[in-house]
Every structure is written in C-alpha cells, then in structure tokens.
Amino acid sequence: MTRPLFHEVLAQIDGVVLGKARQTRLALTCLLAGGHLLIEDLPGVGKTTLAHALAHSLGLEFKRIQFTSDLLPADVLGYSVFDRAKGGFSFHPGPIFSQVVLADEINRATPKSQSALLEAMEEGQVTLEGTTRPLPYPFFVIATQNPFSQTGVYPLPESQLDRFLMRLTLGYPDSAAERDLLSGRVRAAKTYTPAASPQDLLEAREALDRVHLSAPLLDYLQALATHSRAGRFVHGLSPRAMLGLARAARSWAWLESRDFVIPDDVQAVFSAVAAHRLLDAEGGLTGEQCATAVLEAVAIP
Amino acid sequence: MRPSEVWRSRGPHALWLLPPLLALLPHLDHVPLWLGLVCLGVWFWRLALELGNQALPPRSMRALLALAGLAAVFWQYGSIVGQQAGVPLFLLLLFIKLLESRGLAEKRLLLILTQFAAMSYFLMGQSILVSAYLLLVSVLGVAVMLHLQAEGRQPLLRTLTHSSRLFAVGLPLALLLFLLFPRLDRPLWGLPTDTTSAATGLSENMAPGDIARLIQSGETAFRAQFTGPRPDPNGLYWRGIVLSGFDGRVWHALPPQPASRDTLQAQGTAWRLSLTLEPHQRRWLFTPGLPEPLPQGTRLAQGFQWLANEPVRQRQRWFFQVYPAYHHASGPGDLQRELILPEGFNPRARELAQGWRQRNAAPQILVDQALALFRKDFIYTLRPPALGVHSVDDFLFGTRRGFCEHYAGGFVFLMRAAGVPARVVTGYLGGEVNPLDGHLLVRQSDAHAWAEVWLGPETGWVRVDPTAAISPARVEQGIGAALPATELPAALTRLSVPLLQGLRHTWEMLNNRWDQWVLGYGQAQQLQLLARLSPRLASTRWLAQAAILAGLLGLALLAGFFWRTRPKETPDAAARAWLKLQQRLGRIGLAPLPAEPPLGYCARVARLRPDLADPMRRITRLYLDTRYGNQAHELRSLARLVARFRPRRHRESPGNTNGKAHPQAGAR
C-alpha cells in the first residue's frame, strides 16, 4: 500500500511550505493525477520551494527554467552540436529533460518558446531535427506566471491554459506560518530523505484507476459540466477539463484514504481545475468566483 | 379539432380500452343480446369520454347502472352465481367499471380483470382457434399493461415484443406443468355444468324435423380411430339411442332399465378403435357394433343401449373392441313394448299394414313390402312440408316427401301396425376419413335415424334403413350428394375442391390431435407418460401426493417471488434516508446549504452541535459508503440509524440562538 508513503510526502512538503496545506495537497493531487500545475502568484511566496519539495520528497530529478523574453526553444528543449572528437553531432538535452520542471514566469517568453514547452508537456516527448526523444517519466511541469505585471508579457491563451490540470495561488502565509518562517524553524527540503520513489508514484497512479465513480457522482459531474456550458461563461468546461476534474477528484479521494469519490472531493478540486478555464462573459468575475458560482448553483444529486 | 387530430392526440390514451373489447368479442356468442349491447355501448361511451378527455359519469350513475345490471342478470338467469350467470355478470360489471377507471392503478386492475374475463371463455370452448385467440388477447393485454406502466414512453410495438418474450419464457414452464402437474380423476374443481344448457346432438325424443335441424350443424359429434383394419366408413351405422315409445307424433326413448335382459352374441372378427366423444351432457355412447368386452365406466341397458355411467360432460375417450356382426335377441315380454301404438292416430296407415298382414304375416315379406312402398315415388328432402295430426298418414299418403326420421318413423309405424316388433334407432351414419392420419370424423350433420325389426328368435333384431330404399345415394355418400342442388343445407363442410379439402383435412387432423393430446390429456394419459419415464411413478397415490407437493412448491415459489420482488434496497434508498436526515436537521435550523457536500455538512453539524456529532458522522459515513461507495448492503444500517436520529433543538447551542445556524459557505 503506497498511500501512507504519500501522506508522508505531504507531511514533508508541509514541513517546508508552511501554512499552505490545501495548496500542497492540491499540488500533490495534480502530480498524482498526471497533470501539470500552473501557479499564478507573486515572486517570493514559495513557488520554487514547493516545486523543490515535491520533487525531492518523491526522489525526482528537478530542473528550473527561467523564462525570459529572449529565451529560445533550444534553451528549453536542447540542441545538437558537432563533436570533432567523435566526428558527428551530439545532442545536448535541454532542461526540459527532467522529471520535475519548474518553468518560472512562463508568460515572459515569446509564444514560440512557450509553445515549445507546452507541446512537450502535451506529447510527453520532444522532436528535434527529425529525432523523437521521450521525456522522462514521471514528467511534471510546474509553471508560474506573475499576474500583475502587464508590460512585456505574452499571456498564455486559453487553449494553452487548458493544458494545465490545475492553477493554484499560494498567497501570503498566515501569521503563524510566517512567524515560524521568520524564526528560522523551517527545515530545508534537502534535509529530508525522499519519502517515496518514482516507482511508488507509478503504483499510486494505478491505484487511482480503481477509485470508484458511482452513478450519482457521475450525475453530479455532468450537472457541473452542463451548468458551465449554459451560456454564463465564454467557454464551458471542455471534455478534457471534465476528464481532468474526474481524475483530480479520484486523486483527492485517494489521498483522503477513500476508494470512491464523493461530492466533497469534487468540490475540493473544482476551483483549482476549473477556475483558469472559466471566463465570465460579462467580465465581472474572476475565475475563482466563476468556479464558486458554478458549485453553488449545481445541487448535488 | 378534426376527428383525425383528436384521434392522433388522444388515441394513444385510449389504447387501454382495446383489451376489454377483444376479451368481450368471443363472449358475444353466448351472452344475451341485451348484455352484449350494453357492454358495447358502455365501451363506446368510455371511448368517447377518453377521446374527448371528459369527466367520468358521477358515482350515483355508475352505482345505478351496476344495480340495474345485477337485477337484469338475475331476471335473465334466475341466479347470479354459477357459470351460466356468473360469466355474463362479470363481463357486465367489468364494463361498468370502465366508467370509473381513471388512474394508472385502476386501469391496471381493470386490465388484470380483463385477462380473467378473456380466460373465462375457456368455460365455453377450448378449440385451437379459441385458445389461439385468447392467447393473443392476453399477450396484448400484458403489452398494454407494460405500455401503461411506461406512461407511454415505450411504443406498443416494443411492449408487445416484451410481452411476447415474457410468454415465450413462461411457455416451457407451462408445458412442464401441463404434462407433469398431477391430474386427479375427480378434480377438486370441475367445469360447473348446467344440466339445462342445450347441447347439440341427438336427444331422447325424435319429432319430425329434429334431425333435419341437427343436420344443419357442422359440429363434431365424435372422432374415431381404428387400429388395425379400417372398415369402409360409408357403411358404418353408429348405433346410439333406441326410441321405442311413440305418442302419435314424437318417438322417444323409454326410461332405461337398470340392466339389459337382451342376449347379445358376438360373431365374426372384431375391430379395435378409440372413440373421442364430444360432451353432449347425456349418457349415450355410439358404436358401430357390439362392444365386447365393455370398457370401464360403461354399461348396457335394455334394448342394447350402450350408456356411460356418468353423463359425458367433458370430451372423453374410450378404447374398445367392437364386433360389427352380432346376434341380438329379446325376451317375449320385452318385445311387447315394441308393438305399442297409440290409439286414434293414423288410421290409414294402420289399415294398410293390417291389409298386408292378412295377405302374408311373415315379417321379412312385410318389411319388403314397406320398403317397396317407399321405393316407389317418395322423395327425399330436407325441407318436407308440414304434417298434420296424423303425421304418418299425411306422410305416407299425402306429401311423400321426407327425411330419414320420416322414413324411419313411418316404417316402424307400419311394422308395428302389421304386428312386427320394431323400433326407431338414432345415431350417425358414415363420417369422413381424414386421409392424413386415417381418423374418422363424425359430425352432427351425419345424424341419421333408421329402424330395427324383430324377425324372429333365430335372426333376432335386424337393422333396416328405409331411407336407403328411397335414395341409395344418401347411404353411400352422405347428405351432400343426396340432396338436390337447390336444397343444399349448410353443408358447406362438404366442399369438394381438392385444395380446400386438403386444407380441411389438415385442419381436422390438427383438431383431432388437439382434442386427443391437449384437451383429452387426463389422468390416464398422464399415468401412461409417467410410466414411460419410470414405472414407479405411475400410481394414483403418488399422483395425489405429488399434487400436494406441487401445490406446496407453488406456494413456496410464490413466496420466494414476493421476497425477491420486495421493494429493492437501491442506492436511491440511501438518498431518501439522507433527505430524511436533512429534513430532520432542517426542523432544528440545520438545513444544508445549497450544494453543500455531505462531509462538509457533517462537519458543520458536528461543529455546531457536538452532541449530534457522533451519530451524524456515522450516518454520513454510511451514506457515503452506500450511495457513492457501492456498498448497498449497509443500507439497512443506514435506514435504522436515520430512523433513530431524532435531533431536538438545543437551547444552549450557540449555533441556534438566533435561529440562523448557517456559517459561511466557505467553511467546508
């Protein structure tokens, strides 16, 4: 049974990222569900720390790409150079060839570089100069973007946003957490030994498939989808979003030590999964407010 | 709205009225005309109300109608119980009930009663066609019930397939029960018989015209199957009723003596045959010769009358051996009554016979003289002119047109007047051989009357058929050929087109099989079948025990069925239990928030009312397990816990002080 290992993973991460139990759990849920994570927040609230802690406690290899306006796709994916000694081209893999990739400030790079990353995320492989190279497994991208700087940025279009399973906001820590932080009682991620291995992650993902989705719960999911598509928003939730929602809910339920999904699970992950995909047609509501509106409008069958 | 539009929009709503109508149709042949008309009238009335979507007639009117119907049935039959009055009464009340059936439940009840009404026709007839029709009606009835139950969402065609499938599934079981369900020789219940009801067939009286009427009927009298040599059916006289009494107009059977004092002596070789007799409510049996030995349940009465011990109320089959040639003698005392003629009737015929006698008293000569008289210029016709008081005189010297009963009656009268003991015998002549399986079908239209004369102790009684003297074709080819074309009776059964004849033969064979193997399947046949399976099974005691066992088994199955189909503990039951919990909590101000998920709700209730936390958590866990976790077996515990969960308002509860117990929605 791998579940206790992941509770341990969660405990380790919470020991590093203080006072963000919900977000860390969602991040782990996202990783378990095989999705990618978008964190929209200010610099310095712990995005890197979270990514680092996740990677380390699972024993995963971690790399970070700082996206800038002059970043080229080759800086992400890698490039081939002529090696005189060998008398041929040798491939230098980019930072994307890593199990956990932190793509920092993704909206600062040009759409060309952005799409190089996003396509790799979607395909699970990189095709360069006619050769297809698989990305490592597991492959988990945490992208961050700064929502408040509006100059010199290339915001991700909705179609690209849809590729992230979840979008999270970390926010400032609460006062108790901040006090702990300031007092220096926080351990660094490196001081922990990994609580779980990539193999455990594989097994956990298989266990997710066995989490039961009952008929009334499917009714609930469909009611949510229907309501989101009823015209209040620019787009409703896509089938990909609904698949992601179901998988995230299963993942959440599994972390809650349950083998079946209940409406609480769906509600717990709904905002993270749906908020970045819902755009208020009238423009008055943020994505989170849209998600809450959907949840409150749909009765649990 | 135009009628077609009414039909299109309201027609489907009237579909449930179809089965009662179809169930009524066959009954129309036996219920009184007024009752049929009332039923049909009520039906059309109800149809109009349904199509117009109008209100049903008031209760008082329906009650009045029902009482009037009850009275009318009593007036018609003198009773409201028993098969004869019961079935019409049931039909009448069923149709009056149409006028008060509105909702789904009432319509369903009505359709079930309709099935009963349809099946009750089996009391009247059980032929292949009737069975097929009633089967169709009940398949349709079930289909309409399914259609109603689906509230019209399923088209009738689909429910019809469904219903047919149900019947098909039930068929093997029905067949098995039919074959193996123990049949007792004295059924616990029998077909109620009304002795007064008229049955087609020969009777103990023969007035001029009786047989002529009978001959119009194409109904089957009996079927015979010869095993071994098959005699030519055209010459077969199936001897039935002996009519020795005469009152001047009507020949009648004398009250049967307990035992026969006749001496009967079989001669020659025997035939073996089985006789399947249609119920005629009397005891007569028909035989082409002397049955010997007598089959069980039958006896011989005075005048060589072969009788069954019990009236033939159901189709019955006898296997026996019969000697076509036999010597039949009576004692002198018994001969006396075969000479009696009432005084004062038919003086001319008496005079003629006595003249013959004075010339030569030898019986054979007298017989020949009488036959010669008939052969001269008598005409054979189904529609003889009316005869007066001196019927024999009128016939012999006036009209000279008549039918077998005229000839037989006239001949016997002449013989008695001439001092030769003679009597009329009625039965059947000929019949039709089915070329497919060789069985002989004898219809009512084959009814015949002939004479027997006493030719002295050595010869004994001899059959004389005076009709044969007039028209030999009558004896050889049956009535269809003997009659002039203009006088064809309803003898359309005598079609001679080969194809039609072939079809008819097939049909008759099917009917014969049906009668023998389906309707005639009784205890004897069942014992035979069981004996073939295992000799030990074939005992009546075993059958009785098996009947009781089968009854108990049936009850057990029924109980099991009800147990199985008791309201299922579906996950919806979990939802209902949860709703009940929410309502109870709602009464103390703890209703769930809109779209509040179960665990969140539980946590909130537990926080606001720590005293309820424990049961609340257990109920919530069970609810989640049963509704979302696929653990339906916990439903009972859930229902029990919810039933016991009776939260009260809590004065001290801080969450309840101002009646607003709802924290913010975000408190999940």
Report yes or no: B277 and B286 within 8 Å, Cβ to Cβ: yes
Mutate: best of A25, A264, A295, partner B, most B CBs <10 A:
A264
When pLDDT is cut at 50, 70 and 90, the band that residue B435 belongs to is confident
pLDDT for residue B655: 44
Name the 3-class secondary structure at A168.
strand
Of residues B133, B110, B139, the one with CA closest to residue B26: B133
| Strands A140-145 vs A100-104: parallel, antiparallel or unpaired | parallel
Alpha-carbon gap: B1 to the closest alpha carbon of chain A (Å) = 38
pLDDT for residue B258: 65
In which residue are the tokens 């009765």 written? Answer: A299
Question: How does the average pLDDT of chain B come out, rounded?
Answer: 80
Prior bond of B293 cis (ω within 30°)? yes
When pLDDT is cut at 50, 70 and 90, the band that residue B668 belongs to is very low
- Mind giving me the DSSP string for B164-186? HHHHHHHHHHHHHHHHHS---SS
Alpha-carbon gap: B529 to the closest alpha carbon of chain A (Å) = 54
- Here the tokens at position B655 are 């969450």
CB-CB neighbours of B59 under 10 Å = 10
The arithmetic mean of pLDDT across residues B188-204, rounded, is: 52
Report yes or no: B157 and B25 within 8 Å, Cβ to Cβ: no
Give kind and range of the element (H or E) at residue A215: helix A215-228
pLDDT for residue B164: 94
Facing residues of B100 across strands? Answer: none
CB-closest option in B597, B627, B630 to A264:
B597
More confident residue, B603 or B504: B603
DSSP 8-state secondary structure symbol assigned to residue B99: T
Spatial separation of the C-alpha atoms in residues B211 and B216, rounded to whole Å: 9
Largest CA distance in chain B: 137
Spatial separation of the C-alpha atoms in residues A182 and A177, rounded to whole Å: 9
When pLDDT is cut at 50, 70 and 90, the band that residue A149 belongs to is low
**Interchain contact A170–B (C-beta under 8 A):** no
Polymer length in residues for chain B: 668
List, for residues B90-100, the tens digit of each pLDDT value: 999 999 999 98
Nearest chain A Cα to B579, which residue?
A: A301
- In Å, how far are A100, A246, B497, B568 from A204, measured between CA atoms? 17, 16, 85, 36
Question: How does the average pLDDT of chain A come out, rounded?
Answer: 86
More confident residue, B298 or B139: B139
- In Å, how far are A111, B315, B414, B547 from B550, measured between CA atoms? 83, 26, 64, 5
Chain A segment 265-284 residues within 8 A of B by beta carbon are: 266-268
DSSP 8-state secondary structure symbol assigned to residue B152: T
pLDDT for residue A242: 93
State whether A300 and B595 contact (CB < 8 Å).
yes
Largest CA distance in chain A: 69
Percent of chain B with pLDDT strictly greater than 70: 86
**ipTM rounded to 2 decimals:** 0.86
pLDDT for residue B663: 40
More confident residue, B228 or B663: B228
Facing residues of A104 across strands? Answer: A66
State whether A298 and B575 contact (CB < 8 Å).
no
List, for residues A215-258, the tens digit of each pLDDT value: 889 999 999 999 888 877 888 888 989 999 999 999 999 999 99
Q: Which residues of A touch B604 (CB under 8 A)?
A: none
pLDDT for residue B484: 44
pLDDT for residue B626: 87
Residue B644 has pLDDT above 70, yes or no: yes
Q: Which of A87-96, B173-182, B567-576 is least confident?
A: B567-576
pLDDT for residue B566: 61
Q: Which residues of B touch A212 (CB under 8 A)?
A: 628-630
pLDDT for residue B191: 45
Mutate: best of B582, B596, B628, partner A, most A CBs <10 A:
B628
Spatial separation of the C-alpha atoms in residues B89 and B79, rounded to whole Å: 10
Spatial separation of the C-alpha atoms in residues B306 and B239, rounded to whole Å: 9
DSSP 8-state secondary structure symbol assigned to residue B257: P
Residue B652 has pLDDT above 60, yes or no: no
The arithmetic mean of pLDDT across residues B614-633, rounded, is: 86
Residue B198 has pLDDT above 50, yes or no: no
Which structural domains are found in chain A, ordered by start? 3-198 (3.40.50.300), 210-297 (1.10.8.80)
The arithmetic mean of pLDDT across residues B552-564, rounded, is: 86
Of residues B219, B210, B285, B206, the one with CA closest to residue B249: B206
Residue B195 has pLDDT above 60, yes or no: no
Question: How wide is the angle at C-alpha A96 spanned by C-alphas A94 and A98, nearest 5°?
Answer: 110
The arithmetic mean of pLDDT across residues B464-470, rounded, is: 82
| Strands B251-252 vs B305-308: parallel, antiparallel or unpaired | unpaired
Q: Which of A44-58, B222-236, B247-261 is least confident?
A: B247-261
Between helices A3-16 and A47-57, what is the axis angle to 10°?
Answer: 150
The arithmetic mean of pLDDT across residues B329-336, rounded, is: 79
List, for residues A187-208, the tens digit of each pLDDT value: 777 777 888 888 888 889 999 9
Spatial separation of the C-alpha atoms in residues B386 and B77, rounded to whole Å: 34
Spatial separation of the C-alpha atoms in residues B500 and B497, rounded to whole Å: 5
State whether B571 and A216 contact (CB < 8 Å).
yes
Spatial separation of the C-alpha atoms in residues B449 and B250, rounded to whole Å: 13
When pLDDT is cut at 50, 70 and 90, the band that residue B45 belongs to is very high
